[in-house]
Amino acid sequence: MKIATWNVNSIRTRLSHVLRWLDTSQVDVLCLQETKILDAQFPRAVFEEAGYLSAYSGQKMYNGVAILSRHPMLEVTSDNPFFPDEQRRILAATVAGIRLVCVYVPNGQSLESDKYAYKLNWLGAFCQWMAEECNTHTDVAILGDYNIAPEDRDVCEPEKWQGHVLASDAERTAFGRLTQMGFKDAFRLFHEEGAHYSWWDYRQRSFQRNAGLRLDHVLLSSPLAERCLSCTIDRTPRQWEKPSDHAPVIVEVDV
């Protein structure tokens, strides 16, 4: 089974990209972030025609998550019981026995910002929730835009990003709590070296210079990680006309 995550930066603007990518990638499940659309306006019929069921939790302008799946989705939930939140950043569903959690972690803006405190609180409560999900499910996959570069090898210019939001110690510690719980960074099961990124700024020809960050991750519970066959970042749609600034990440798991 192929499962992917992609921050599309508006599903309205990127609809043709998503359809084209579904057609070429042939994934079974696609987790989307930054859909930026109200539930009533989500283009579910378009995806149904392409062979995908939709689950979504959206809002106007900001945030918004969705899961597209070729297989039935069970136990769909859009809230962390430990963290009441108006911002639509979470969507979980069980597909083929795997508990899938689609996340759009807050950006944090800067270390001085209230948004940074919100990010750390949000992550703390998220870890709590994931601990609980692990008690009730063996195969858990957390896919999404974590807005955290876990290590210096995930950053193009580490000295420039040191202590900066997305690469700060507290954020990395929060990410580390998930790995301490037993979650494995799927990409690192197969690739040790740096210079693999999933986000490139629109400005300064960052993509052409490969000046990026690895912010989009797939974390797998240990039993699921043992059945992970591959994890890749697909840079192709980042090269299309009017792209999202993020690239999709795909894992292949044995079910």
Partner DNA sequence: ATGGCGGTGTAACACCGA
Element (H, E) at 142: strand 140-145
Applying CB under 7 A, among 215, 219, 247, 253 the residue interacting with DNA is: 215
Does the footprint of DNA cover residue 12 (CB under 7 A)? yes
Structure tokens at 1: 């089974």
Q: How far is the CB of 137 from DNA (least distance, A)?
A: 27
Compute the distance between CA of residue 190 and CA of residue 252 in angstroms, rounded to an integer.
Answer: 12
Nearer to DNA, 98 or 249 (CB): 249
Does the footprint of DNA cover residue 160 (CB under 7 A)? no
Number of DSSP helices (H) and strands (E) in the chain, helices first? 6, 14
Biggest CA pair distance of the chain: 47
Which span sits near DNA by CB under 7 A: 7-15, 74-82, 151-159, 188-196? 7-15
Does the footprint of DNA cover residue 207 (CB under 7 A)? no
Query: Which residue in 211, 157, 220 sits closest to 190, CA to CA?
Result: 220
Question: Of residues 161-200, which lie at the interface with DNA (CB under 7 A)?
Answer: 165-166, 199
Rg (CA), the chain: 17
| Residues annotated catalytic, as ranges | 104, 145
Nearer to DNA, 157 or 226 (CB): 157
Nearer to DNA, 107 or 236 (CB): 107
Q: How far is the CB of 100 from DNA (least distance, A)?
A: 20
Compute the distance between CA of residue 249 and CA of residue 235 in angstroms, rounded to an integer.
Answer: 9
* Total of residues contacting DNA (CB under 7 A): 28
Structure tokens at 222: 């240990």
Applying CB under 7 A, among 139, 145, 154, 185 the residue interacting with DNA is: 145
Q: How far is the CB of 238 from DNA (least distance, A)?
A: 11
Query: Which residue in 53, 7, 3 sits closest to 244, CA to CA?
Result: 7
Nearer to DNA, 43 or 95 (CB): 43
Compute the distance between CA of residue 179 and CA of residue 189 in angstroms, rounded to an integer.
Answer: 13
Convert residues 90-109 into a mask of x (bound to DNA by CB under 7 A) and - (unbound): ----------------xx-x
Compute the distance between CA of residue 5 and CA of residue 84 in angstroms, rounded to an integer.
Answer: 24
Compute the distance between CA of residue 197 and CA of residue 182 in angstroms, rounded to an integer.
Answer: 23
Does the footprint of DNA cover residue 110 (CB under 7 A)? yes
Compute the distance between CA of residue 161 and CA of residue 149 in angstroms, rounded to an integer.
Answer: 10
Chain residues binding DNA by CB under 7 A are: 7, 9-10, 12-13, 34, 36, 60-62, 106-107, 109-110, 115, 145, 147, 165-166, 199, 201-204, 213, 215, 242, 245
